[in-house]
Amino acid sequence: KWSNKEVELLKQQVHEHGKGHWKKILKDNADAFCRQIEVDLKDKWRNFEKYNKLWDFLELPQYLH
């Protein structure tokens, strides 16, 4: 389970380093992401993107679906 602090840090780091730079993000934040490996960061980000796309879709007016 990810804490809110970890999720916010991941968002900030992807913004700073770019999507796909999981090794660098993990290396620069080893203390904060001590329970994760690169694939955990990638999977969390992928799920975050999917959730946001679904949320955006659900927020559209019905006639735009």
Q: pLDDT per position in the chain (65 positions), as tens?
A: 899 999 999 999 999 999 999 999 999 999 999 999 999 999 999 998 888 776 565 555 555 44
The confidence score (pLDDT) of residue 50 equals 85
Write down the pLDDT at residue 61: 57
CATH 1.10.10 fits 4-64, yes or no: yes
The pLDDT value recorded for residue 62 is 52
Contacts of 44 (CB under 8 A, 6+ apart): 2, 7, 10, 36
Distance CA 13, CA 65 (A): 33
What is the model's pLDDT at position 55? 59
Entry pTM:
0.78
